[in-house]
Amino acid sequence: MLLTSSLECEPISTADLQVPDGTALLRSIAQIRTYRREQEIYCQEQKSEGWYCVVSGVVRKYHLKQDGRRQIVDFHLPGDFFGVTCRAYHQFGVQAITDETVTAFYARQKLENLMGSDAAAARQVRQKCVEAIERLEQQMLVMGTMSAPEKVRAFLIYFHGRVAKFGDDGSLTLPISRYDIADMLGISAETVCRAFTELRIRGDISLEGPRHVRMVRGAAETY
Amino acid sequence: MLLTSSLECEPISTADLQVPDGTALLRSIAQIRTYRREQEIYCQEQKSEGWYCVVSGVVRKYHLKQDGRRQIVDFHLPGDFFGVTCRAYHQFGVQAITDETVTAFYARQKLENLMGSDAAAARQVRQKCVEAIERLEQQMLVMGTMSAPEKVRAFLIYFHGRVAKFGDDGSLTLPISRYDIADMLGISAETVCRAFTELRIRGDISLEGPRHVRMVRGAAETY
DNA sequence: CGCCCAATTGAACTGCATCAAGATTCGTGG
DNA sequence: CCACGAATCTTGATGCAGTTCAATTGGGCG
């Protein structure tokens, strides 16, 4: 099932869509692919054939262990590159979280060639790599030094910061479940719930439905 | 004290040293710097002026919180780039762990210019970034899904894999303390000790002195 | 409207942190 | 070369945060 899923996506003309921030040359080698909710973009242990960039929607990069535990290592939003590896096989799988998730795929050799000749494209990819490194390092801090409620608060601030490019009032609609949050933070879903409750009682957030959080200004600003 | 430390390093002619895997052009813009054990290469909140590459020795990248807790986000070995950021200020500090730690420093603008014109240099930096991403993602897995003894075992395998490029017998001399390991894994130093003891009793490792570990073949190979 | 999955809350258990006390190791100087 | 002192490392005892198992509620979608 997992292995066939990537065949189900529909190719779309690249002219239809804009890869966010993408240079014209990057766009010229992109294959646009669309995915449904929960659909596998590629799965772990699968052969790595190139890189991807999120055009729209949200994806999760994750690893499944034999014992069934899942670790989400990153969420990717429009403009993020993923599938970035120099190995032959993927260490992580990637799934679409939202319906109508669109990615641009760049065959590895084409992208390498392009970056060899086009410094602007190379610079952009490098920039995205650096951002990913900083995001992961920040996440290490969260994982290593925070209590469960602090982790959840940090996650909400992080996610809010990534999603809301526009100036806004602190409200946030989560495209992801408590289980996703739990597997990202390395805690149980029950503990995530309790943390939400605690943050609500403390006045850091208010909840209008489980997926609709409002960050209270002042209480939830600082890390 | 911290802020002055980087002034104490002695400049050395670049001709004296080889940056591992470095291209000639990369070397041409490098400033070589030497540090003592525990010396600060740069500290968190300090202005970011460029990138570094470890030439010899070992460094730790870490963050100190107000409450005194320390998170080590990565160790860097010869050939690794660090200080990689697009922000104006460092989020993490970096210290030499071993005496005679040598780094190559690349002023940000010089490096950007070089990468703009030299695709090979750009490719190498990109490659190093990808490796860092994969290392961090792997570490997320460790932090999120493992018990304390598993974390320590994973750390030893990881560190052994990074240090021992040559074929060897599983023995490993740790340049780092139990406290470093604890702050990397997000557990207490006492728990690290107990994990060492447990791994020794289980037969996964043998200890010839606290800093000299031998990985028992078969028992400690797989993640 | 009703079903089903997601979210929440409760209760008991457990792994790890914390505090405290020794034991080793290593560097330094006599 | 040995003795001393100061880290570093190790082990023990206790408490608590978070897991696990279980039950209930709630929201979203057919």
- Residue pLDDT, tens place only, B26-50: 888 999 999 999 999 999 999 999 9
Q: Which residues contact A21 (CB under 8 A, 6 or more apart)?
A: A79, A124
Q: Per DSSP, what are the bridge partners of residue A207?
A: A213
Task: Tell me if chain B has a CB within 8 Å of the CB of A134.
Answer: yes
Nearest one of B159, B65, B191, B161 to A138, comparing CA atoms: B65
**Cβ-Cβ contacts under 8 Å, A133 against chain B:** 84, 129, 132-133, 136
- B218 Cβ within 7 A of any nucleic strand C atom: no
Angstrom distances, CA of residue A99 to CA of A6, A34, A134, B132, B153: 14, 9, 28, 31, 40
Distance (Å, whole) CA A87 – CA A114: 19
Residue B172 has pLDDT above 50, yes or no: yes
Q: What is the residue-averaged pLDDT of chain B? A: 87
Which range (A28-42, A197-211, B12-26, B163-177) has the least confidence?
A: B12-26
- Look at A136 and B134 and tell me if their CB atoms are within 8 Å: no
Q: Per DSSP, what are the bridge partners of residue A76?
A: A59
Share of chain A above pLDDT 70, in %: 85
DSSP B186: T
- B26 versus B144: the higher-pLDDT residue is B144
Taking the model in full, what pTM does it have? 0.90
Residue A188 has pLDDT above 70, yes or no: yes
**Cβ-Cβ contacts under 8 Å, A144 against chain B:** 71, 143, 183-186
Share of chain B above pLDDT 90, in %: 73
- Rounded to a whole number of angstroms, the distance from the CA of A130 to the nearest CA of chain B is 6
Q: 């799934």: which residue's tokens?
A: A95
Q: How confident is the model at residue A13 (pLDDT cuts 50, 70, 90)?
A: very low
- A95 versus A86: the higher-pLDDT residue is A95
Return the pLDDT at B84: 87
Residue A24 has pLDDT above 80, yes or no: no
- H or E, element range at B59: strand B59-64
Return the pLDDT at A8: 40
Return the pLDDT at A47: 96
Taking a C-beta distance cutoff of 8 angstroms, is the pair B79, B118 a contact? Answer: no
Distance B74 CA to C8 C1' (A): 37
- A70 versus B12: the higher-pLDDT residue is A70
Nearest one of A114, A104, A112, A113 to A82, comparing CA atoms: A104
